[in-house]
C-alpha cells in the first residue's frame, strides 16, 4: 500500500485532532501484540511479528470501551456494522461501508428439522453493500483503516468475493486498487 500524498481535505492527523476536540470517537486501539510470543507494537500498519513471524492481534482499551458504549447507545445507532465502531479498529468515523452489516437472520425450518434442533437461523449476508457479499464487512473496516493510515492504494490476492469487495470499496473511496489472481484462473 502506498501512502497518500497531500490530501485535498488536509492532513489526516489534523482532522483526527479536530475530531478529538469535538469529542467524537478516537478509537480504542492501544496497539498490536503478537499472538505467539507476546511482543508488543505500536498502532501501525503491520501484520506480522518481527521476532517470531507470528500474527499480530489488536490490543483494545476495554475499560475505555466500557465507559464509552452501552446497549442503549448501540441500539439507537444506524443499523449497520458501524453501530459497533468502538469495538472496531478505527480511530475516527468510517469512510466506506455505510450499508454493510446488520444483515437479517432467516429462519431455516427444514435445516433445523434435519439437524434435530427446535429453531435454527442463518445469516443472510447477501444483502451487504456494495457487492452483496459477507466480505463487505471486513473490507469496510480495512479500507477505512487504510485511509486513516494515509494510503492511496490497496490490494489483495483473491479469486472471488474479496477481490470484488476490495475493488468496489476502493472505487467508492477514490483509492487505487490492485487485485492479484492465480495464473490460469478461468
Q: What is the mean pLDDT of the chain?
A: 87
Q: Poorest-confidence range of 24-33, 105-114, 159-168, 169-178? A: 24-33
pLDDT for 134 equals: 92
Question: Residues 81-103: what's their mean pLDDT?
Answer: 91
Q: For residue 5, what pLDDT band results from cuts at 50, 70 and 90?
A: very low
Q: For residue 158, what pLDDT band results from cuts at 50, 70 and 90?
A: very high
pLDDT for 26 equals: 65
Chain segment 105-138, per-residue pLDDT in tens? 999 999 999 999 999 999 999 999 999 999 999 9
- Asked whether residue 149 is assigned to any structural domain, the reply reads yes
Contacts of 35 (CB under 8 A, 6+ apart): 54, 55, 56, 57
CA–CA distance, 64 with 57 (Å, rounded to integer): 18
Question: Residues 8-33: what's their mean pLDDT?
Answer: 57
In the chain, alpha helices (H): 12-22, 62-68, 71-75, 109-115, 135-148, 161-173
Q: CATH code at 123?
A: 3.40.50
Question: Residues 146-173: what's their mean pLDDT?
Answer: 95
- Asked whether residue 132 is assigned to any structural domain, the reply reads yes
- Asked whether residue 75 is assigned to any structural domain, the reply reads no
Total domains in the chain come to: 1
Q: Which phi and psi angles does 185 have, rounded to 5°?
A: -65, 130
The neighbouring-strand residues paired with 48 are 55
Q: Which domain holds residue 104?
A: 93-186
Top-confidence residue, 4 or 59: 59
- Asked whether residue 131 is assigned to any structural domain, the reply reads yes
- Asked whether residue 100 is assigned to any structural domain, the reply reads yes
pLDDT for 183 equals: 86
pLDDT for 39 equals: 97
pLDDT for 114 equals: 98
Q: Is the pLDDT assigned to residue 82 strictly greater than 90?
A: yes
Amino acid at each position: 500500500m502506498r501512502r497518500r500524498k497531500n490530501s485535498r481535505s488536509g492532513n489526516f492527523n489534523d482532522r483526527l485532532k479536530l475530531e478529538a476536540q469535538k469529542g467524537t470517537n478516537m478509537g480504542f486501539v492501544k496497539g498490536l501484540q503478537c499472538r505467539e510470543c507476546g511482543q508488543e507494537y505500536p498502532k501501525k500498519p503491520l501484520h506480522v511479528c518481527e521476532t517470531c513471524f507470528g500474527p499480530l492481534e489488536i490490543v483494545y482499551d476495554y475499560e475505555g470501551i466500557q465507559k464509552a458504549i452501552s446497549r442503549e447507545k448501540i441500539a439507537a445507532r444506524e443499523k449497520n456494522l458501524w453501530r459497533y465502531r468502538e469495538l472496531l479498529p478505527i480511530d475516527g468515523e468510517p469512510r466506506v461501508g455505510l450499508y454493510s452489516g446488520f444483515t437479517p437472520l432467516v429462519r431455516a425450518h427444514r435445516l433445523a428439522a434435519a439437524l434435530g434442533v427446535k429453531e435454527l437461523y442463518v445469516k443472510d449476508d447477501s444483502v451487504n453493500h456494495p457487492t452483496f457479499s459477507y466480505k463487505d464487512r471486513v473490507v469496510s473496516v480495512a479500507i477505512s483503516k487504510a485511509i486513516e493510515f494515509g494510503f492511496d492504494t490497496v490490494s489483495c490476492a483473491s479469486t472471488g468475493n474479496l477481490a470484488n469487495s476490495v475493488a468496489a470499496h476502493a472505487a467508492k473511496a477514490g483509492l487505487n486498487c490492485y487485485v492479484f489472481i492465480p495464473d490460469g484462473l478461468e
